[in-house]
Amino acid sequence: MKLNWDIRTRVLFVALVPTIVLGLLLTALLTFSRISDLEDALNQRGRALARQLSATAEFGLFSGNKDALQRLAASALSAADLYGVAIYDRDGSLMAVAGLQVHARDSDTFIRPGSEEIRNVSSQMLRIVEPVRYSRSLDDDPYTLTGGPATQDQTLGEVVVLISRDTLENRKLNQIATAFATLALVLAGSIALAVLMSRSVSTPIRRIAQAMSDIGRGNLTTRVPVEGGGSLRRLSEGVNEMAAHLAIARGNLESRISEATLQLRERTEEAERANLAKSRFLASASHDLRQPMHALGLFIADLSRKEHSPDTRMLIERIAASAEAMENLLDSLLDISKLDAGVVSSSPRGFALGPLFERIGNDYTHAAKERGLRLRVRPTSLWIHSDPLLFERILINLVGNALRYTPQGAIMVTARRRGGHVLIEVRDSGVGIAQENQSSIFVEFVQLDNPARDRSKGLGLGLAIVRRLADLLYHPITLRSAPGRGSVFGVMVPMADAETSKVPQGLQEQDLLGRIIVMVDDDALAQESLAGLLRAWGCFVVASDSLASALDALEEMEVEPEMVISDYRLPGPHTGLDIIARMRERFGATLPALLLSGDTGPETLQEATARQVPLLHKPVRPAKLRAALSHLLGPRQNHHLPEA
């Protein structure tokens, strides 16, 4: 098992464990050695007493003098720790006894001649048996009355001595207590020394570790106190030097980042100013360009309603086609501007794909045949959940892109179910797109195969609009393509339930005959063209270039307008939205209104959206204008036209 100890604990462990083990071993060894010495000393003392008594009792046993032996035994009790003395003759008869009575067992009463015995009879008593042997000194004693010579080394009896072990046990206890006290003192000193040493080692290391942690958190002003010597000192100095270098490096990096940020801010502001100038220029140029284009389109529509010779009719159609191409380019710019301004909102609902596919087929089959292509739109009964108008624009742009970049072959539009979604694909057999270029084709004004900027191939805004609309609707776009093998663009859309979804009823164009419409436009050409087209549709038009003149004309004719159409940019401080607001104050807040503008800037779009006024950008196609008027005017009621 791995121990997650800090350095201080490790130092203490290394310092204390060997000391404790060694101290315990030495204490145990010395204590047991000392106790053994005490045991030996007691045994030696007891043996010496027993031998002394044995030598003294030799004559008494030889002569059988019990009184002398008794006195000897009694006098021996004066020795320290001596509890009892007994003297036996050779036959085992007790000759003298003093102190405690000591009787050996029958089998232990006598000892073999010439032997001695030391035995613990209890935990408090030591029994020592010493034989009394015959010595030559008795042979020379003139008072010795023996019948014959004594046998050399003959045993006369034995002396039994009882020595108390209390003093020994007390000394043992004192020795053990002294040993443990000494061990405790040694261990306490060792622990104190180990703690002191561990602090001297671990404290600098812990300071270094804390400093490294602070440096890691970005506090490069942290410094470690340089103390001690050797490796710890070099380590502290190295950490401080590292922190100083890091602080310098961070200062340099922050300085470089500040400089880069300042440069980036300046360039960003410069780009924003350039973009703002571009937007203003585009809005101004667009307004100036859209005014005559708007008038041109209305004049062409009015002109096409009249009778003409075949040559004139063909010329009018070519002029209309050129004007329509220009309008398509301007509309693409307008769509990008609307999406960037964030004024386009979606209204998803369930609808059938079949009618949309049918319209695509009807609208683009002729254009495909003119290019020598085959357009195949597979019928489908699937329903999807999306915004019908925005999704139709996505599909139209994909089909138009396929038509422009397919020199020969076919184009196919299909829809397939993918789980809970529907994958709508537009496939072509065109030039294809290399893998490294597939992400750039969704950028504005990027046309990979149009270096000459042929206007028949558009401006390069179709796929950019597709990307923005798909992001707005949260529909993923897929692309599979390879050079020379065509392209497959796909849109993944949630599937809708056909049983719970309803097909919205289309707007029915109302009869415009006799509708009283006030229009305000300061451009004489645009005013004349729009008034002429409205009158051609049967409307009663009050045209003017200002609010005051329009009100004067209405008052003179004694009529109330049913609708107001105003250009956004007008002379003076007021805009078309101000004109509409004043007219609604005069003739009711529900008065239908339509704003026309040649400005493509996001400010106009956002302001019109905020005031809930429909906005059509110039040039306005007649069909789109008529549909807007029919929708805003609603069902026809009884109207009384002024007398001419």
DSSP 369-418: HHTTEEEEE-----EEEE-HHHHHHHHHHHHHHHHHT-SSEEEEEEEEEE
Least-confidence region, from 86-100, 269-283, 445-459: 445-459
Top pLDDT among 10 and 360 is at 360
Least-confidence region, from 152-161, 457-466, 475-484, 586-595: 457-466
Whole-number Å distance between alpha carbons of 53 and 86: 10
Q: What percent of the chain has pLDDT over 90?
A: 11
Q: Is the pLDDT of residue 115 over 80?
A: no
Q: What does the chain come to in residues?
A: 644
Only one residue has tokens 């196919």, namely 412
* Partners of residue 377 on adjacent β-strands: 413
What average pLDDT does range 126-152 have in this prediction? Answer: 63
Both structure tokens of 133: 């042997």
Which residues have a Cβ under 8 Å from the Cβ of 385 and sit 6 or more positions away? 348, 349, 350, 493, 494, 495, 496
Top pLDDT among 256 and 634 is at 256
Whole-number Å distance between alpha carbons of 320 and 318: 5
Q: Is the pLDDT of residue 282 over 90?
A: no
Top pLDDT among 389 and 357 is at 357
What average pLDDT does range 547-562 have in this prediction? Answer: 88
Per-residue pLDDT tens digits for 485-508: 889 999 999 999 875 444 444 434
Whose CA is closest to 155, among 177, 178, 176, 130? Answer: 130
Whole-number Å distance between alpha carbons of 347 and 547: 35
Q: Is the pLDDT of residue 510 over 70?
A: no
Containing 554, the helix (H) or strand (E) segment is helix 547-557
- SS3 call for 599: coil
- pLDDT tier for residue 106 given thresholds of 50, 70 and 90: very low
Top pLDDT among 355 and 453 is at 355
- pLDDT tier for residue 611 given thresholds of 50, 70 and 90: confident
What average pLDDT does range 276-296 have in this prediction? Answer: 62
What average pLDDT does range 283-295 have in this prediction? Answer: 63
In terms of DSSP bridges, do strands 615-617 and 155-164 run parallel, antiparallel, or are they unpaired?
Answer: unpaired
- SS3 call for 161: strand
Neighbours of 531 (CB within 10 A): 19
Q: Report the pLDDT value the prediction gives residue 503, as an integer from 0 to 100.
A: 41
What average pLDDT does range 283-293 have in this prediction? Answer: 62
Q: What percent of the chain has pLDDT over 70?
A: 77
Q: Is the pLDDT of residue 274 over 80?
A: no
Top pLDDT among 242 and 106 is at 242
Per-residue pLDDT tens digits for 73-85: 888 888 877 888 8
b/e 493-506 (16+ beta carbons within 10 angstroms → b)? bebbeeeeeeeeee
Which residues have a Cβ under 8 Å from the Cβ of 520 and sit 6 or more positions away? 543, 544, 545, 546, 547, 550, 564, 565, 566, 567, 570, 576, 579
Whole-number Å distance between alpha carbons of 397 and 137: 149
Whole-number Å distance between alpha carbons of 599 and 284: 7
Q: Report the pLDDT value the prediction gives residue 303, as an integer from 0 to 100.
A: 77
What average pLDDT does range 186-199 have in this prediction? Answer: 77
Q: Report the pLDDT value the prediction gives residue 111, as an integer from 0 to 100.
A: 38
Ranked by mean pLDDT, the top range of 101-105, 254-258, 499-503 is 254-258
Whole-number Å distance between alpha carbons of 489 and 502: 28
Top pLDDT among 290 and 592 is at 592
What average pLDDT does range 97-117 have in this prediction? Answer: 51
Q: Is the pLDDT of residue 108 over 50?
A: no
Q: Is the pLDDT of residue 335 over 70?
A: no
Cα 483 to its chain centre, rounded Å, is 41
Domains in the chain, please, with CATH?
Answer: 1-136+153-219 (3.30.450.20), 345-494 (3.30.565.10)
Backbone φ and ψ of 133, nearest 5°? -105, 150
Q: Is the pLDDT of residue 379 over 60?
A: yes
What average pLDDT does range 320-342 have in this prediction? Answer: 64
Mean pLDDT for the chain overall: 78
Both structure tokens of 621: 């196609």
> Measured at the alpha carbon of residue 608, what is the angle toward residues 551 and 389, in degrees to the nearest 5?
120
Containing 597, the helix (H) or strand (E) segment is strand 593-597
Q: Is the pLDDT of residue 50 over 70?
A: yes
Which residues have a Cβ under 8 Å from the Cβ of 286 and sit 6 or more positions away? 330, 333, 598, 599, 600
Both structure tokens of 8: 């201080």
Whole-number Å distance between alpha carbons of 614 and 620: 13
Instruction: Give Rg (Cα) of the chain.
Output: 62
Whose CA is closest to 85, among 155, 167, 166, 158? Answer: 158
Cα 546 to its chain centre, rounded Å, is 62
Whole-number Å distance between alpha carbons of 444 and 380: 32
Q: Cβ distance 137 to 120 under 8 Å? A: no
Whose CA is closest to 81, among 116, 117, 38? Answer: 38
Q: Report the pLDDT value the prediction gives residue 301, as an integer from 0 to 100.
A: 73
Q: Is the pLDDT of residue 346 over 80?
A: no
Decide: pTM greater than 0.85.
no
What average pLDDT does range 309-336 have in this prediction? Answer: 71
Both structure tokens of 413: 């539009």
- pLDDT tier for residue 135 given thresholds of 50, 70 and 90: confident
Neighbours of 352 (CB within 10 A): 18
b/e 135-149 (16+ beta carbons within 10 angstroms → b)? beebeeeeeeeeeee
Q: Report the pLDDT value the prediction gives residue 16, as an integer from 0 to 100.
A: 73
Q: Report the pLDDT value the prediction gives residue 173, as an integer from 0 to 100.
A: 86
Backbone φ and ψ of 531, nearest 5°? -65, -40
- pLDDT tier for residue 363 given thresholds of 50, 70 and 90: confident
Per-residue pLDDT tens digits for 571-585: 878 889 999 999 999
Q: Report the pLDDT value the prediction gives residue 7, as an integer from 0 to 100.
A: 65
What average pLDDT does range 196-223 have in this prediction? Answer: 76
Backbone φ and ψ of 353, nearest 5°? -80, -25
- pLDDT tier for residue 169 given thresholds of 50, 70 and 90: confident
Q: Report the pLDDT value the prediction gives residue 382, as an integer from 0 to 100.
A: 92
Tell me the angle at which helices 310-341 and 602-610 cross, rounded to the nearest 10 degrees.
80
Which residues have a Cβ under 8 Å from the Cβ of 121 and sit 6 or more positions away? 127, 162
Q: Is the pLDDT of residue 439 over 50?
A: yes
